[in-house]
Amino acid sequence: MVGAGISTPSGIPDFRSPGSGLYSNLLQYNIPYPEAIFELEFFFHNPKPFFTLAKQLYPGNYRPNITHYFFRLLHDKGLLLRLYTQNIDGLERVSGIPVSKLVEAHGTFASATCTVCRRSFPEKDWWADVMMDRVPCCPVCAGIVKPDIVFFGEPLPERFLLHVLDFPMADLLLILGTSLEVEPFASLSEAVGASVPRLLINRDLVGTFAWRPRSRDVVQLGDVVHSVERLVELLGWTKELQDLVQRETRKLDGQDR
Ligand code: CNA
């Protein structure tokens, strides 16, 4: 389970912190409060701030860091049952983890849906509009085309239901870079069996690790990159991870050219 904290080392700030790059960019639009950007009522009143954020998070503006590649390595080794993410930056996909291994619990910019006729559109159909600061509209009914990001009050993607099968099967739960404050995601941390070890890597103690710890919990507080490097070292995978990061970085450099 991961959250915004795994992407801060990639340069993506918390949306809520005033003064951060993403938030400051939105001030020009007079949004009443940061969360409004993910509220349908405000979106229909003024969709521009949301699309400004979408443009900012465009694949290529940011790159995965060693944390994302650690999960990719787990996948390559056949050890990753699933990666549940709250992030909407798409960096798990960029790191090469197949979509089948992901549950993007708060949605994705990879697809979009017309808010009126509910037709679905792949990103190639509407990204050009977003990049040119235009609000994308449905070619059939002229409704606003909204990327499939989960707004407040909207249901989570159907794939989230996979947790019912996944969590009882897990024999280790890794939780990185999340405040475990947003439900229903946060409660997944309790969905593994009572004897299953849970490892929390985060800057601070969060969720049930603080108020209902289990006997097999392990907590590593501090910076996520430093902690992942330490874990990888203990596993004896340092060279393998470095090689993977180098290979993938070269690929991304090639795509940028
Ligand atoms: P959050 O509530 O902002 O919590 C982040 C947690 O990560 C906090 O406990 C921080 O202390 C911790 N943290 C931050 N940086 C580091 C670091 N370098 N090393 C270790 N720990 C760190 O974020 P959550 O994901 O828990 O909250 C859920 C919201 C935030 C979701 O709806 C997301 O969509 C949304 N969000 C996503 C992104 C993104 O996609 N990258 C960015 C900002 C917010």
Location of structure tokens 């798409």:
90
Per DSSP, what are the bridge partners of residue 137?
144
Which residues pair with residue 219 across a beta bridge?
200
Distances (CA, A) of 223 to 142, 177, 178, 195, 240: 46, 9, 12, 27, 21
For residue 191, give every residue at least 6 positions away whose Cβ sits within 8 Å of its Cβ, in sequence order, or none: 163, 167, 168
Q: What is the CATH number of the domain that holds 85?
A: 3.40.50.1220
State which ligand 1 atom lies nearest to the alpha carbon of 4.
25
Query: Does 186 fall in a domain?
Result: yes
* Residue range 94-123, pLDDT digits in tens: 999 999 999 999 999 999 999 999 999 988
Distance, CA of 148 to CA of 186 (rounded, Å):
21
Taking the C-alpha atoms of residue 190 and residue 138, their distance in angstroms, rounded to an integer, is 41
What's residue 53's pLDDT?
Answer: 87
- Please indicate, yes or no, if residue 69 is contained in any of the structural domains: yes
Per the CB < 8 A criterion, the answer to whether 123 and 107 are in contact is no
- 216 located within any domain: yes
Distance (Å, whole) CA 198 – CA 218: 6
Determine the pLDDT at residue 58.
81
Q: Is the residue at 41 inside a domain?
A: no
pLDDT of residue 27: 72
End-to-end CA distance of the chain: 33
Question: Mean pLDDT, consecutive 10-residue segments, the chain of 257 residues?
Answer: 95 67 68 87 94 86 96 98 97 98 96 96 91 95 97 96 98 96 95 97 94 96 97 98 98 84
Q: Is residue 17 situated within a structural domain?
A: no
Residue 203 identity: R
Q: Give the rounded distance of the alpha carbon of 244 from its chain centre.
A: 21
Q: Is residue 136 part of a domain?
A: no
Structure tokens at 117: 């006729």
CA-atom Rg of the chain in angstroms: 19
Distance 160 CA to ligand 1 centre (A): 19
Range of the domain at 229: 4-10+64-106+156-251
pLDDT value for 19 = 61
How many angstroms separate the Cα of 185 from the Cα of each of 86, 87, 111?
A: 8, 12, 21
Domain annotation covers residue 55: no
Q: Is the pTM of this model over 0.75?
A: yes
Active site residues: 106
Distance (Å, rounded) from C-alpha 146 to C-alpha 37?
12
**Tally of domains in the chain:** 1
On whether residue 198 sits in a domain, the answer given is yes
Taking the centre of ligand 1 as the mean of its atom positions, its distance from the CA of residue 209, in whole angstroms, is 17
Q: For position 21, what pLDDT does the model report?
A: 55
Joined together, the tokens standing for residue 256 give: 């940028």
Nearest CA to ligand 1 atom 6: 178
User: From the alpha carbon of 223, which atom of ligand 1 is closest?
Assistant: 19
Q: Is 86 annotated as a binding residue?
A: yes
CA distances from residue 38 to 4, 48, 153 in whole angstroms, order as listed: 16, 12, 10
Ligand 1 lined by 207 (C-beta under 6 Å)? no
Residue minimizing CA distance to atom 40 of ligand 1: 87
Contacts (Cβ under 8 Å, ≥6 apart) of 13? 20, 21, 22, 23
